[in-house]
Structure 1
Amino acid sequence: MKILASLLVLCASLAWAQPVPPIPFENGKFLTLPASRDISRYLAGLDSLSPRARLVSLGTSAGGRPIEALLMSESPAFLRDQAAEEDKPTVMLLGSQHGNEPSSAEAIQQLARELVAGQHPALLDRLNLVLVAMANPDGRDLSTRHNANNDNTNIDYVALNAGETRLLVDALHRFDPDVVYDAHESGIWKRVLTREQGWMTDVEAQFDMGNNPNIDGPLRDYTEQRLLPALIERVSDAGLAAVRYRGEITDINQSVARGGLGITNLRNYAAMQGRVSILVENRLDNKDGRYPTPRNIAERVRKQHLSILTMLELVADESEQLVSLSRRARQQWQSGTGDGRTLWMGVSFEENRDEPEVSLPLVRFADGHRQLHRFANHDAIVTRTPIRLADAYAVTRERERMADWLARHHIAFETVREPRELEAQSLVVEQLLPQPKARPGVREKVRAEVRVEARQVTLGAGDLLVPMDQPLAPLAALMLDPRSANALYQEPGWQWLRPGEFPVFPVRLP
């Protein structure tokens, strides 16, 4: 019987390890990037080849192109039901949110091909994968950061103006990933730094994770103190020099910090939902360089593939603690402060007095000379305006529009059917302070100075109540409260900030 069982396992392995066609990028000898339709056809072919792959539609881009996810797993139940499984992380990988950063789309296809061909079998034993090779197929075909409507979907996670952003938010709830991996490229050539000052950045791989101070405290501590350092170490050990992300360096005289603190980007938005959220910025080589393939695209894909594969192996090794922390955070958020219910409305970067300078590598454009340059270090995270999470928020303006916006975020709310009298914290905007330059770390255009007054209010029929006893409560509060640097009212089309009583405010429920 043991011999028969072994033969059955061997036959299953041989059936799995079948010839798989090369990805379209390989067929083009790494010289031309395939169009989005060719990638969609290839992913559909992988679906038909393997019982461990299933291609599902997420929706359609602004330009009418399909946005799809290739699910990969050893679990027929996951492929069928698309639901999280106990003790097995679900990992969502997003490629090319910026269409002119294409290497991650190719690397994700390469990973999918290898998995269908039987390589890395332990990964599908230990992980359920959601592979979104093209998060922005319009940008892919148009060679632009934006979609066909000229929306920068990568910074749209508060307003949700773009259909692509809404599709990805829906996908977060549909697949409920424990880990979200957002793959980008960072150009080494900058207009001022290179053309005027003569230097390019010199880094291969930069990693960051959700860093907003309002992310669930234990989850944030784990990603910052354990997972991020381990990922950087493993990628470096694999031969790709990796560092912690320092943001875009565009001027030799600037200060540096980290990736932005705002929740308009996917990294912090997903982390505020209680997910481990990872950003990679691999090197996007200079257009004028001489490489074996155009703009070194084959090498860029290799580096993206290495970064992705190393991350997946680390997540598999960390699965027990990672799943426990992530799923608890999605059920019951707790802040990093002592009471577990405090939100910081104001967040920004300031000078790090313990480490006022950092040395970062640059390469001289003219002759390739490499040297370290010292930058002022402004990566200290500063918080202001603490509030305790209320019972609920009331919304008394543009209620249908707000209801639609809340539904897009999957935030639960109630429509008041008859007048209700409640205790409230009336928020009175006393002064608006336009920010001539956005505060480092957030896209705060106007800061509202707000006076809080306790009083009784009567909500009318049609007003909205957004309870704060739901999993998305901290995310909702940061977007709804006018005191927040991440508020919806910082976004175009939502400029509600005016002196006087604000139409959205905390209330106490009986």
Structure 2
Amino acid sequence: MALWASLVWGVPVAPTPFEKSEFMVLPDSRDIRQYLVALADGHEQARLVPLGDSAGGRPIDALLVSSSPAFLQAQRPEPGKATVMVLAAQHGNEPAGAEAVQQLARELLSGEHDGLLARLNLVLVAMANPDGRDLSRRHNANDDNTNIDYVALAAGETRLLVNALHRFDPDLVYDSHESGIWKRQLTREQGWLTDVETQFEVGNNPNIDDPLRDYTEHHLLPALIRRVTLEGLEAAPYRGEITRLGQGVARGGLGITNLRNYAALQGRVSVLIESRLDHKAGSYATPRNIAERVRKQHLALLTLLRLTADEASRLVPLTRRARTGWRSQAENGRTLWMDMRFERNPEQPELWLPLVRMTDGERRFHAFINQNRIMAGEPVTLPPAYAVTRERERMARWLHHHHIRFSTLSAPQVVRAERLLIEALLPPIERRTGVREKWRVQVASQAGSVRLGPGDLLVPMDQPLAPLAALMLDPRSVNALYQEAGWSWLAPGDFPVFPVWPTAPDVRK
């Protein structure tokens, strides 16, 4: 076993538990946490911050790694220096990212990687779902899929991560995942495995701050794919799950139930990686090729950090302005698009993607319908506020979990309002495999005066989280809270949440 030692500070840095096993045994969440504690205790450039506990009672922590004592102490962004938050293992059965994060932390604390710590502040959440890690499954101990819980915030783990976003206020969020190459229909019935090494996606919801979305879509994402490929790891834009021949392929989902779009709508650069999760039946040097999978995750993460450091002079001002001065793609800068979907791209109607034949390993390219054109509709100009007149205490807790500012009326108040009348609920136009489709809601609106009562809530739209709040509160939105389990408010008739033009001064408190 090689000796790991500090190259700058002279403090020995022990190998990770996975490295100690010669890449043969995955450690459990307890061993990983003990290692992170040891890193923080042994190095003044690191600090372990408890975030809370999982549904199964396992601790979730953030390891801060930085050369800045001020950041380690105050845990807030610094001028000109990008803060990067890395989340691994939101799905417990996708373990390679967690090992790559630990390895990178060890290397950085050894003084490796070209002075990255002088240019970046890092928040490393190696175990976002420790229950899933120990139980070898995607979900937590309560069977919650925390990865798609960023609207409802039903799981405690998701609420902890949302709190962490506000606590550390990162400029860039990196969400690490693995994608299995074996698919039930594609492989078992049609005889093909998917063939992709790494795929990347960024926040793609049409309501993300327009300059930020343009930068990540047209500059950062291509640059990341190019750099990773030049490092010897084949990289491509994310095409979603290929589960059968002849299907359509698009991109990562547009909804805000996932961390990628949720974080981007807060004004953050947001990047997803899906690296290759090899087939169980393959023959590899380590169990299920885990050493190679960790190598790929490590290479991708390190490349992203170097790119972020190089881009800091452009990236940092852009994302921080987006967090305080959101501007939509519309001419007035205040229009939200409540409906969004993928359609076939007329400029490139087909994509040729590689698959591997299960029987002999031959690689062939297959044509797939290219449905990566993003269509946005149902424009709504952001109103001064939304009123909430149903389940107000529950809604207040939910708003608080999202860190969305609101006020509670203590006396009756007459406001100008746009009452929303649900006329019909329609099923999705086209169901896509692996995508959680949403009801389409036919809504009519009527302007007039409304008397609000004591206890009703007012959510002002002059706050940084206004676009995110409006997309979750407005029933016309395909990203609305009421599309989530446990919030089945969608029914014909007057809707209890609606835009208002309040007159009382306390709406902005």
Question: Shorter chain as normaliser: what TM range?
Answer: over 0.9
1:352 maps to 2:345: yes
1:442 to 1:26, Cα distance in 2 relative to 1, 3 A:
closer
1:238 aligns with 2:261: no
Alpha-carbon distance in structure 2 between the residues aligned to 1:81 and 1:441: 41
1:5-84 equivalences in 2 (<5 Å) = 16-84=9-77
Would the aligned equivalents of 2:200 and 2:273 in 1 still touch at CA under 8 Å? Answer: yes
Contact 2:88 2:125 (8 Å CA) reproduced: yes
User: For residues 90 and 150 of structure 1, do their structure 2 counterparts lie closer, same or farther at Cα, with a shift above 3 Å needed?
Assistant: same
Q: Select 2:195's aligned residue among 194, 198, 202.
A: 202
Q: Following TM superposition, by how much is the alpha carbon of 1:436 offset from its aligned partner in structure 2, in angstroms?
A: 7.5
Corresponding residue to 2:159 among 160, 163, 166: 166
SS of aligned partner of 1:318: helix
SS class of match (2:280): coil
Other-structure match for 1:385: 378
Question: Cα distance 1:441–1:371, how it changes in 2: closer, same or farther (>3 A)?
Answer: closer
Q: Which residue of 1 aligns with 2:265?
A: 272
Structure-1 residue corresponding to 2:297: 304
Identity value in percent: 67
Of 288, 306, 323 in structure 1, the residue corresponding to residue 281 of structure 2 is 288
Partner of 1:430: 423
Instruction: Compute the displacement of 1:375 (Å).
Output: 0.3
Is the Cα contact below 8 Å between 1:17 and 1:118 reproduced in 2?
no
Contact (CA 8 Å) 2:246, 2:367: kept in 1 or not?
no
Letter in 2 for 1:310: T
1:339 match: secondary structure: coil
The match for 1:153 among 146, 152, 172 is 146
How far the C-alpha of 1:438 sits from its partner, in A, is 4.5
1:55–1:70 contact (8 Å) kept in structure 2: yes
Equivalent residue in structure 2 for 1:109, among 102, 113, 120: 102
Q: 2:449 aligns with which of 456, 459, 465?
A: 456
Q: In the aligned structure 2, how far is the partner of 1:509 from the partner of 1:316?
A: 45
Task: Render the CA deviation track for 1:122-171: whole Å, top value 9, x for unaligned.
Answer: 11000000000000000000000000000000000000000000000000
Amino acid at match of 2:364: Q
Unaligned runs of 5+ in 1: 1-12
Residue in structure 2 matched with residue 493 of structure 1 by the alignment? 486
Following TM superposition, the consecutive aligned residue runs of length 4 or more in structure 1 with deviations greater than 4 angstroms are 436-442
CA contact (8 A) 2:13 2:110 kept: yes
Could you tell me how far apart the structure 2 residues matched to 1:206 and 1:31 are? 26
Q: Which residue of 2 aligns with 1:98?
A: 91
Helix, strand or coil for the counterpart of 1:42?
helix
In the TM superposition, what is the alpha-carbon distance from 1:434 to its structure 2 partner?
2.8
- Give secondary structure in 1 for the equivalent of 2:425: strand
Cα distance in 2 for partners of 1:63, 1:121 equals 39
Which position in structure 1 is the counterpart of 2:506?
Answer: none
2:247 to 254, 264, 278: 254
Q: What is the alpha-carbon distance in structure 2 between the residues aligned to residue 233 and residue 496 of structure 1?
A: 46
The 1:205–1:42 alpha-carbon spacing in structure 2 relative to 1, beyond 3 Å, is same
Aligned to 1:186: 179
Equivalent residue number for residue 358 of structure 2: 365
2:3 is matched with which residue?
none
| Distance (Å, rounded) in 2 between the aligned partners of 1:471 and 1:444 | 28
Alpha-carbon distance in 1 for matches of 2:315, 2:8: 33
CA deviation after TM superposition for structure 1 residue 336, in Å: 1.0
State yes or no: 1:506 paired with 2:496: no
In structure 1, the residue matched to 2:218 is 225
Structure 1 CA distance for aligned equivalents of residues 312 and 424 of structure 2: 48
Could you say which residue in structure 1 is the equivalent of 2:395?
Answer: 402
Partner of 2:507: none
Deviation, 1:17, is 4.2
- Distance apart, 1:230 and its partner CA: 0.1
- Aligned partners of 1:206 and 1:245 also within 8 Å: yes
SS in structure 1 at match of 2:331: coil
CA shift digits 1:450-476 (9 cap, x unpaired): 001001001100000000000000000
Quote the Cα distance in structure 1 between the aligned partners of 2:323 and 2:435. 24
Normalising by structure 1, report the TM-score.
Answer: 0.96
Amino acid aligned to 2:381: R
Equivalent position amino acid for 1:73 in 2: S
- Whichever residue aligns with residue 192 of structure 1, its letter is Q
Q: Is the 8 A contact 1:444 1:485 kept in 2?
A: no
Q: Secondary structure at the match of 2:386?
A: strand
Contact 2:7 / 2:110 at 8 angstroms: preserved in 1? no
SS of the aligned residue for 2:244 comes to coil
1:416 aligned to which of 386, 400, 409: 409
C-alpha distance in structure 1 between counterparts of 2:433 and 2:7, whole Å:
54
- Asked if 1:216 corresponds to 2:209, the answer is yes
